[in-house]
Chain A
Amino acid sequence: MNSKLDRPQQNASAASLRGVTKSYKHFRLDKIDLEIEPGTVNGLIGPNGAGKSTIMRIMMGLVTPKSGTVSVLGKSISSREASAKQDIGFFSDDMRLYKSESIAFHMQFVRSLFPSWDEGYAQQLLDRFGLIAQQKVKGFSHGQRVKALLLLILARRPKLLILDEPTNGLDPVAKQEVLAELMQIVNDETRTILYSSHNTQDVEQISDTITFIDRGRVIASNNRDEFLDRWRRFKLQAPQNWQAPAIDGLRPESTFGNLRVMTLDRYETGVEDQLQSSGATLESSEAMTLEEIFIAAVSRGREEKQQ
């Protein structure tokens, strides 16, 4: 791999996956296309087992895809090249530190591999996260372990952070500490965050872009506010033989007697009129929360796959 030819360009993606596939015995990643813009916070949301971890590991070169190209910070990624990882901070829920050693040992170890290590900031983080440098990892609670791992990442100020469910299982206080610290990165427009979760609350507040993943496929990817603006739920009263108007992206969600609930993924003003003139009575037209959008998008994606 000749990485000397990979010159990072202005406004190049922070990370880009094209046509990436991977096959395991009971799971497949199916032609993943993902583009991460620099200077953004990107949420990757998907149910457990959807493939978020696999995608992130492929981005780190820890897993080799069957096909497709992966480029991170302008460089091709592979297990043979280590240089791209110099500017990336990777966190995974299943990462562990050496139990018999202290945080200080790990700090010294990581520091020896990263010229970008900022010792002053590391000390601040020890303080802010309430960690003791001399304490051995063995007795750590889940929250302390996560914070210690994040400290080791944040102190070297990576350009790209790839975080696989970092706030999973954290108590509200720890979660706040972690999010506040992660958000400081937003101050720097050259730094980027990719953050995955199976729950939308963790991600929706801080994300600029959201991507939904389910069963190894990208279901939808958009600017967060676009999602919130374009999805809408309608409650209609309609007789049994009522036919829904042919509006692109309009799907039934549930039916209860004459009550029909429908969702639309590309809302424009005037849709309510179309529904009214189709012979149904519009009871309400409401915005959807990101969680509701996620559930609707996933169920649509699964239906499509079956067809």
Chain B
Amino acid sequence: MNTQAIQILFLKDLFLSRWPMFGYLVGGLLSVMVTCLPGESAGFIGFILMITVTIAAGIHLIGALLLGESIDMTRTFIMSLPISLLDYSLAKISVVLVAFLIPWFGMLASLTIITFVAPEAKPGILPFLVLLFLFMLGGFCLQLFTAVVTESVGWTIVVLVLGNVTLNFFLKMLYEHPVISKLNKSEVLSWPPVVLQIIAIEAIVILAALGLTFMFQIRRKDLV
């Protein structure tokens, strides 16, 4: 494992995706600000915007950094350099993840701050937001896995669409859940066991998707 090579590859990809990364971060923060605007629908619109930005960021970055390399055939160029498959895989998977986490975390962090700082905000909503964002991160990791295994834009989008549909059902379940739905109106921050259970499931999905992605990638026999 050549840490210097991994670092160089990582920074190269981060540099190449600087505009989308920055753009989605800004878009995400703006969406968060929209939720704070006065009016009944502001919260709802801002919410939709945040989800849209997150999903778009995910597919854009996977497309640009991952699928793009096989479509654009830059991977042959990269693999002709003194880089092992392990170095390449580590650098690639971590940079796609980090590039996504920047806008993702930007939104989650700013929302967290707002729930504690803004006068009308109810801190109890925080677990709900965490559940939502972890779900989207899970969806992203599954898309990442699909992209690496299939190298197909088509299949990745299928997983994305399935993830979206599932998100709707997930949100419905959260709104209808006796315990969780009350959190949104609560002034007190609490983490009921059901919330922690769902977080655990989401974490397992995320780690499993990332782990399988990595294992699959380093076992490739034909790199190009």
Q: Which residues of A contact B (CB under 8 A)?
A: 57, 60-64, 79-86, 88-92, 94-101, 109-110, 112-114, 149
Q: How many A-B residue pairs have CB under 8 A?
A: 75
What does the 1/0 interface line of B67-94 toward A look like (CB < 8 Å)? 0000011101101111111110000000
* B8 CB–A CB distance under 8 Å: yes
Please list 6 pairs of residues, one from A and one from B, whose beta carbons are closer than 8 Å in the complex, sorted by A's number: A57-B224, A61-B223, A81-B84, A96-B77, A101-B16, A113-B81
Contact B76 A92 (CB under 8 A): yes
- Which residue on A lies nearest to B7, using beta carbons? A112
Contact B12 A83 (CB under 8 A): no
Partner of A60, one of B5, B80, B220: B80
- Which residue on A lies nearest to B77, using beta carbons? A95
Specify which chain B residues have a CB less than 8 angstroms from the CB of A91 in the assembled complex: 80
Q: With A82-B5, A84-B82 given, can you name 4 additional A-B contacts, CB distance below 8 Å? A: A62-B80, A79-B220, A96-B74, A113-B82
Chain B's nearest CB lies how many Å from the CB of A18? Answer: 19
Specify which chain A residues have a CB less than 8 angstroms from the CB of B83 in the assembled complex: 82, 85, 113
Q: Which residues of B contact A (CB under 8 A)?
A: 2, 5, 8, 12, 16, 72-74, 76-77, 79-87, 220-224
Bound CA–CA A149/B223 (angstroms): 19
Q: Which 6 A-B pairs have the closest CB atoms?
A: A90-B80, A82-B84, A85-B82, A64-B221, A86-B82, A96-B73
Specify which chain B residues have a CB less than 8 angstroms from the CB of A101 in the assembled complex: 16
Contact B76 A62 (CB under 8 A): yes
Specify which chain B residues have a CB less than 8 angstroms from the CB of A79 in the assembled complex: 84-85, 220-221, 223
Specify which chain A residues have a CB less than 8 angstroms from the CB of B87 in the assembled complex: 82
- Which residue on B lies nearest to A101, using beta carbons? B16
Contact B16 A80 (CB under 8 A): no
Contact B77 A80 (CB under 8 A): no
Specify which chain A residues have a CB less than 8 angstroms from the CB of B220 in the assembled complex: 79
- Which residue on A lies nearest to B64, using beta carbons? A100
Chain A's nearest CB lies how many Å from the CB of B63? Answer: 14
- Are A63 and B221 CB-contacts (below 8 A) given A98-B74, A100-B16? yes
Contact A109 B12 (CB under 8 A): yes
- Which residue on B lies nearest to A90, using beta carbons? B80
Bound CA–CA A100/B223 (angstroms): 23
Bound CA–CA A113/B82 (angstroms): 7
Specify which chain B residues have a CB less than 8 angstroms from the CB of A80 in the assembled complex: 84-86
- Are A95 and B76 CB-contacts (below 8 A) given A63-B222, A113-B5? yes
Contact B2 A62 (CB under 8 A): no
Specify which chain A residues have a CB less than 8 angstroms from the CB of B86 in the assembled complex: 80
Specify which chain B residues have a CB less than 8 angstroms from the CB of A113 in the assembled complex: 5, 8, 81-83
